[in-house]
Structure 1
Amino acid sequence: MRGRGGRALTRRRSGRAAMAAGLALCATLALAGCQGDDGGTGAGGPASGAVSPSAQAPEPAAPSGAPAPSAPKATPTATLSKPVQAPKATATPAGKPKSPAPGASCDHKMPISPDEIAVHRYTPEGGFHSLIVRHGNWGCGTPDSDGAPFEEVGVETFLPIADGAAITAVTPIVESTENQKITLQQLIDWLVAHPNQGLVFRYHLGAKGAIDKLDQVFTP
């Protein structure tokens, strides 16, 4: 009797445990279903503790006392420039002989100059003062030169010069680029010490056929 009673008691306890486990399983399934229907705490929805982006705290507003930022003012880019003044022209001293500018009349050969000569030497032959000269014309200077060259033509000739001729000279006879008065003797002394230099002079013949005016042409 005791053996049968013990087995019956064991079966009743096992049945109660199985029933309790089944009830717990049903309660768990029901709770899970309710949570899924209530919006979003199931497997497909976000966690209950997550906060949606729209629910985040708004950015702090600027203090009421702070000045509102203003747009940068546009600065004008164009500036007025001062008008460029043309350089003032410098006048050439009156009466100063000067060689032609480089490139002047270079489209054709210039004629022989009627009143300019290249002076080479001095001679007292014939009993009077004479200059040994050659005539010529002005050629075409290069763009970087200060003056056109005097190109001599023909053979050397003699030109007598009067004792009282009015003579002016510049460098290298005198240390000046402005014509300075010299005597005939000063010119003779320089020509004797520096023969065949070919310095260019503008001359004028007097009534007796001798030079009465002689001005050296400045050629840099």
Structure 2
Amino acid sequence: MNADRLRPAALALAAVALAAVLTGCQEGGSAAGPAAPSAPVAGTTAAPGSGGSGGSGGSGGGSGATAAPTVAPVVQKPAAPKTSVPKTSSPKTSVPEPAASSHGVGCVDSPPGPDDVDPDEFALYRIEELDGSTGKVNLVVQHGVWGCASKDSDGVPFVGTGEESRWALDQAAYVTATNPIVSSSGSQRIGVQELIDWVAAHPDSGLVFRYETGDDGAIHRLEQVFAP
């Protein structure tokens, strides 16, 4: 009995709803209601008419152009100030003067010490002959240094220091001589026997020679130093 009473009311409600749907289709061209206005995108400016309702052709908004995004200005960082680095000058080092030569430059005017002695030169005083089977003779020499020439002298003296020593000279050694051993101021090669004969005739002359030793420790090269 209650169902029969409610049926007419339900039919009436359905008719009203259908009428409402038909009315909406005629006004908007679709069953959907007007579109909700879209929120503007951050950083952009909304175009005119974008929030309006009820246009023709089924769109809820107007046909305005989409706004271009606003570009934020680029902030340039200030350039760091240039700092000048002070130049440090390297400390000046004193350049050592070249070693003095053996002929008076940088000569000694006082008794020489062990540090002043030239290890490659000596003054020759005598020659001692040995047994021929050794193939050597002994040179009696004294090491020293070149002294300073006096005003009245044309040459530079060789000042010996320390005790005399003996050095073996190979009888096949390369020997050169100048004045007074030979009659020339230039170096000339002579034999060991020629040197022995001259020194025997002029003992304790103190002529200066530069020498070189071989692997056996004996002198294999002997060159007289010319001193006027």
TM-score normalised by structure 2 residue count: 0.49
- Which of residues 126, 129, 138 in structure 2 aligns to 1:121? 126
- Is this contact kept in 1: 2:125–2:140, CA < 8 A? yes
Distance in 2, matches of 1:208 and 1:119, equals 21
The Cα RMSD (Å) is: 2.2
- Which of residues 165, 181, 195 in structure 1 aligns to 2:203? 195
With a CA cutoff of 8 Å and minimum separation of 6, indicate the structure with the bigger relative contact order.
Answer: 1
Larger mean CA deviation between 185-194 and 138-147 belongs to 138-147
Three-state SS of the structure 2 residue aligned to 1:129 is strand
Gaps of 5+ in 2: 1-100
Aligned equivalent of 2:116: 111
- Is this contact kept in 2: 1:136–1:152, CA < 8 A? yes
User: Number of residues paired by the alignment?
Assistant: 122
Q: Which deviations, in whole Å up to 9, do the C-alpha atoms of 1:37-94 show, x marking residues without a partner?
A: xxxxxxxxxxxxxxxxxxxxxxxxxxxxxxxxxxxxxxxxxxxxxxxxxxxxxxxxxx
| Alignment CA distance shift 1:141-1:129 (3 Å) | same
- Is this contact kept in 2: 1:122–1:130, CA < 8 A? yes
Offset of residue 144 of structure 1: 4.8
Gaps of 5+ in 1: 1-97
- Is this contact kept in 2: 1:99–1:148, CA < 8 A? no
Aligned equivalent of 1:185: 193
Offset of residue 204 of structure 1: 0.6
TM-score normalised by structure 1 residue count: 0.51
- Is this contact kept in 2: 1:99–1:217, CA < 8 A? no
Could you tell me the percent identity over the aligned residues? 44
Distance in 2, matches of 1:156 and 1:175, equals 28
Three-state SS of the structure 2 residue aligned to 1:188 is helix
Offset of residue 139 of structure 1: 1.2
Distance in 2, matches of 1:170 and 1:186, equals 13
